[in-house]
Structure 1
């Protein structure tokens, strides 16, 4: 094996799905791109890492709710564009021609063009590490959408695209919760 610069070690682990996090601050909607995500367990509890560097962070802290939306590979340029401009001076829904849709339980909008959306409530904020712990309260999946491949950020400006799915459900049955 060759040595890897320690400063690049995060690129080995970062490749969870890139998501869009929609917020509503009481007056307007915003979207931020997040590649630092984590599933907490088999319940609908998730974590994202963000902080004051994202304009949406204030809305997320105040409203204590958001929508996690799952874009697909055909939306990659939009996802990168969203992540490289600020909601402080840009209406990202208008700029990127995205459609906000009302959810059932939170004021933050769903993003119609995404493969899936999860309405979430903030249940904890771990200030030391900028970790926002979210509980999903409703979820939606677009079964008619043709493109279903998600993207994963490597952390160096490149991305990995979902590929072939390999099924080992029978082998793992004793470890999976019922209905998964």
Structure 2
């Protein structure tokens, strides 16, 4: 196999860390949902998630002010709604109304769960040391919700420029992880 140079602007499509999420916030009476693909697990217990929310995004202000959000995990059947949330700003569009998303009250944070998503993680911001420099928030998952009817959900994975990969077959291999 011969490798050739690869454009640096496309590297994130090779390293994409996980499923595209819908990050929901609530601030000053407005709820919002943004598509988020730049996130990573940082710790198991308590679960810590690091994510980049650009200071140009409407959700940045809400997340910074309230220090809480919900990470909602959509499945492939919501692909168009996820793309629509990513292509529109919450500054000018009520994404829940415009794209047919159903807000549900969370139990520990003010941001809503999204009913159509197969799982939702209520989070609080626990570390902001990298926000000013990298727009990187560290979130602690306070409560997790999942639809037990969806045993192996097919999630979306952003590859860049409108391309997505869909999670497929699950394989099981021996693991020492408990």
**TM-score, normalization: structure 1?**
0.91
> Are 2:101 and 2:115, in contact at CA under 8 Å, matched by a contact in 1?
yes
Matches of 1:102 and 1:14, distance apart in 2: 30
> Are 1:119 and 1:138, in contact at CA under 8 Å, matched by a contact in 2?
yes
**TM-score, normalization: structure 2?**
0.92
Residue 15 (structure 1) shift: 4.7
> Are 1:149 and 1:163, in contact at CA under 8 Å, matched by a contact in 2?
yes
Alignment of 1:114 with 2:97, yes or no, is no
State the partner residue of 1:28. 30
Deviation sequence 1:97-148 (CA, Å, 0-9, x none): 1110001100100000001000000011212111011000000001124881
Alignment of 1:7 with 2:9, yes or no, is yes
State the partner residue of 1:16. 18
Range with greater deviation from structure 2 (158-167 or 7-16) = 7-16
**Over aligned residues, Cα RMSD in angstroms?**
1.4
Unaligned regions of 5+ residues in structure 2, if any?
A: none
Q: Which runs of 4+ in 1 moved over 6 A?
A: none
Unaligned regions of 5+ residues in structure 1, if any?
A: none
